[in-house]
Every structure is written in C-alpha cells, then in structure tokens.
C-alpha cells in the first residue's frame, strides 16, 4: 500500500538493504500536460539523485498512456482521468491508484472574445454559447484526460460538437501544447489545463475566458503497474517512485514547483 512517509528515510532503508541498484530505471507513462509544464524536469532530478533510479517519461494523452501500460510498456502510470484509472486497477493492470495532485482546466480564447464568454464561471453555458455562435473551438480529439473532460462537459451542456467537426469544431489529434498553437493560429477557443497554459510561451493576445467552475477540477493519480499482469515491470523501483511522490518529501516538491511565480500543481495525496 502506498504510504505517505518521510521519503529520505524510506529510501535510505531501501538503499541500505541493497534493494535498489544505482543503474535501475523505470518508464512512467504519463500525460503531455505534466511534461509540457516542466514538472518532471523539476521533480525527477530530486528523486534520481536520492535513489539512483532513472525515470524515463513517455508523454502522451491519457488514453494512449493507459493503453501503453496495459501493453506492459511502462512501470508506472501517472495520468488524469480517474474513472479510466480505476478501471485500469479493477482490470488488474495496476496495483493501487492514489490521488497525487490537482489543478484545474480553463477555457482560453482571443481577446476579442467572439462568443462573448469572457468572465463566465460556469463551463456548460459557456460551451453552449460557443456552439450557438458557431465560434471556432479547437479540441485535442485524442482521448486524453483533457479530451475526456471536455467531452463530458459538452455532454452536460447538451451539445454534440462532433456533429460540427471540420466546421466550427476542429479536432487536432495532438497534445496540449500543439493544440494551443493550432487553436491560437486559427483564432479558436481551447480548453487546457492551467499548468500548460501558464508554461505556454505563444499566448499572443489570448486570455483565460472561463475559469472557476468546480466541474473544471483536474485530479491526477499515480498507479504502479502490476507485475502479475506484466512480469517484466520493475515493480520494486516503480513502487519506490510512487511512494516517494505521495510522501511528505514528494508532496512538498510538487508544491514547490512554480512557473512565473505561480504554483502549477497542488498535492493532495491522502495522509496515512
């Protein structure tokens, strides 16, 4: 069971017991949002210096990350689609899912705001208004965690945007950064996680237009891949990484990651 413990002490015990070799490595199947934000560039050197375990991140959409992990192409899954994550564990592919951190989604758009949604705090009416106005909207369209959330919000708004695919609704099939670039290039609204938006360099005249809805909450979870389903996984090192992330040390490191003076992720692993 993932225990929220003092990471330094836990790692020292493991190292003293010879459990972790300095040349060990793991693959983390994760999201473009965590990678694009720079989070791993900040976190991984801390963990690697402490344990000697090299962490290699594959950054794709959540749906693809889960598929990759089910194909035994990873040791840890770190994504943001809780229902899909729970199904992954229930199907025996993961040992245990634990809440790790959160932030939120926002809808960004050009300063002239053609759909008139600026300042709205309720995502569903904002999306309905975008659809009614036929204002351009760029979607990742890639079964990522962001795309899954976006589609759930459209459904709650009573709109099927795919009926307008290629018209006002444009699906990029790309990651978050690429979709933001495409959306800004065509003057379209885009739903993005806040961390990627803060880290994004090509904002031009774009602004956050819709934010603050509790339905835009964005929870991340961490899951070691099960050695019973995937005997090739580095189970011990994977568990060490997951344990470190939810430890006081790992949670403090997540909280300390900032871009332009803004905290991007908020740790919320359960205390044990």
- 């580095």: which residue's tokens? 234
Could you tell me if residue 32 is inside a domain? Answer: yes
Diameter over CA atoms, the chain: 64
**Shared domain check, 163 and 181:** yes
**Shared domain check, 186 and 115:** yes
Task: Give the chain's domain count.
Answer: 2
Half-sphere exposure for 126 (CA within 13 Å, toward CB): 26
**Shared domain check, 250 and 119:** no
**Shared domain check, 147 and 171:** yes
**Shared domain check, 224 and 187:** no
Chain center to CA of 74:
16
Could you tell me if residue 2 is inside a domain? Answer: no
Q: What is the pLDDT of residue 272?
A: 60
Contact 139, 171 (CB under 8 A): yes
Output Rg (C-alpha) for the chain, integer angstroms. Answer: 19
CA distance 83 to 245: 21
Q: What is the pLDDT of residue 17?
A: 38
CA distance 186 to 41: 31
Per-residue pLDDT of the chain (272 residues; tens, 9 = 90+): 444 333 433 344 344 334 444 459 999 999 988 998 999 999 999 999 999 999 999 999 899 999 999 999 999 999 999 999 999 999 999 999 999 999 999 999 999 999 999 999 999 999 999 999 999 999 999 989 999 999 999 999 999 999 999 999 999 999 899 999 999 999 999 999 999 999 999 999 999 999 999 999 999 999 999 999 999 999 999 999 999 999 999 999 999 999 999 999 999 999 86
Domain carrying residue 20: 7-102+220-267
Could you tell me if residue 31 is inside a domain? Answer: yes
Contact 119, 170 (CB under 8 A): no
Domain at 176, CATH number = 3.40.190.10
**Cα dihedral across residues 139, 143, 144, 148: positive or negative:** positive
217: how many CB neighbours lie within 10 A of its CB?
A: 11
Q: What is the pLDDT of residue 33?
A: 86
Could you tell me if residue 1 is inside a domain? Answer: no
């Amino acid at each position: 069971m993932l225990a929220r413990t003092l990471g330094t002490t836990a790692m020292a015990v493991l190292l003293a017991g010879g459990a972790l070799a300095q040349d060990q490595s793991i693959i983390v199947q994760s999201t473009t949002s965590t990678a694009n934000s720079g989070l791993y560039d900040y976190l991984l050197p801390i963990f690697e210096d402490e344990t000697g375990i090299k962490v290699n991140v594959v950054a794709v959409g959540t749906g693809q990350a889960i598929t990759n992990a089910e194909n035994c192409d990873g040791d840890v899954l770190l994504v943001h689609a809780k229902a899909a994550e729970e199904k992954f564990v229930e199907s025996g592919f993961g040992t245990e899912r634990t809440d790790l951190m959160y932030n939120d989604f926002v809808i960004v758009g050009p300063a002239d705001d053609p759909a008139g949604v600026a300042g709205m705090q309720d995502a569903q009416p904002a999306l309905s208004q975008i659809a009614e106005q036929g204002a351009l909207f760029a979607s990742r369209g890639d079964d990522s965690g962001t795309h899954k959330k976006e589609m759930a919000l459209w459904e709650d708004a009573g709109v099927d945007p795919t009926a307008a695919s290629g018209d006002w609704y444009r699906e990029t099939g790309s990651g978050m950064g690429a979709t933001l670039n495409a959306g800004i290039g065509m003057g379209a609204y885009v739903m993005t996680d806040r961390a990627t938006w803060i880290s994004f360099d090509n904002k031009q005249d774009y602004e956050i237009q819709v934010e603050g809805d509790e339905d835009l909450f964005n929870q991340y979870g961490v899951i070691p891949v099960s050695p019973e389903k995937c005997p090739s996984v580095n189970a011990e090192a994977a568990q060490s990484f997951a344990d470190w992330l939810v430890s006081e040390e790992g949670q403090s490191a997540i909280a300390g990651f900032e871009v332009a003076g803004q905290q991007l992720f908020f740790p919320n692993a359960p205390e044990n």
